[in-house]
Amino acid sequence: MDKIAVIASGGDSPGMNAALRAVTRTALGRGVEVWAGWDGYDGLIDHRMQQLTTSSVAAIIGRGGSIIGAGRSPRFLLPEARQAAVDRLREDGIGGIVVIGVEGSLAGATELHKIGFPAVTIPGTIDNDMPGTEITIGADTAINTAMEAIDRLKDTAAAHRRAMLVEVMGRHSGYIAVMAGIATGAEMILTPERPVELEDIFHEMSETFLRNKRLFIIVVAEGARWRAAELTDLINGSPNAYEARYTVLGYIQRGGIPTRFDRILATRMGVAATDALLDGSSGVLATWRNNQVEMRANDSLEPREDPWEQSLARVQLLTTI
């Protein structure tokens, strides 16, 4: 290959720029040009491409977001759109692509691989819900952001003897909620994977109040049975000792400076993925397993575990710390 493409697809995550930098510098070091598609797969369809140089990716390792944009592309679901994008890439002399993104990005890369265009994927999502890998780029930063926010909210909750509900991202995965909840000593953690009955929540709150604890923290994944606002209303509408307030952290978890771990993880994955592509691999994902990067075939990836099972701490769903 004389030229490769790179895109950031799906939602942005802290560390994507570090991965982009690693891809670019690894390819350039092997004498291969790098062209970025703007705003994910849409950039390939619309031929919005920009050549990257060493200078293009200078000083971006510590920046959040993605300097080449990111986003989902419903149009790329159409076979004719994928084929048109591949035809244009080949006309430009581009022989393969590195895709940085979420599970939908992996699906898109797999489709490119199936029609004969070499594609490899780097997992970048704060939800840490990609198959085959123990951790994804951005998850560590998001957990740290949530942890810092919850620690601050605990202070005001204790001052007013309140229940504080903190909603974090995770429509289908409770990973951020579980890890941030364990790290902050939350009284309860609610996830999509393990629904909890309302009576259990009220019982646990009452028991905690009787022990004279001045605060009750509930970390709620956005995909749990109740959103934080709804659950707050239910708590305040019941004869409960704690008065409840809620905070939705939202997109603040996806932005900002990536942690040391995410910068190094992204760099190592970027180097491994680019080398794999240039050495002839396709249809593979960069994974983090057993404290090292492994390239694994897309069709061999196992579904993600329940984050409770995945966590190192042996905790119960209802926990009082």
Distance CA 19, CA 140 (A): 15
H-helix or E-strand containing 61? none
**3-class secondary structure per residue, 13-42:** CCCHHHHHHHHHHHHHHCCCEEEEECCCHH
3-state secondary structure at position 203: helix
Write out the E strands in 144-283.
Answer: 162-168, 188-190, 216-221, 243-248
Does 127 participate in catalysis according to the annotation?
A: yes
Beta-bridged to residue 190, according to DSSP, are 220
Distance CA 136, CA 130 (A): 7
Catalytic hit among 42, 127, 140, 262 = 127
Task: Label residues 234-248 b or e (16+ Cβ within 10 Å = b).
Answer: ebeeeebebebbbbb
Rg (CA), the chain: 22
DSSP code of residue 311: S
C-alpha dist (Å) from residue 149 to 64, 129, 153, 248, 293: 18, 22, 6, 10, 31
3-state secondary structure at position 78: coil
Residue 198: how many other CB atoms lie within 10 Å: 13
| Residues with catalytic function | 127
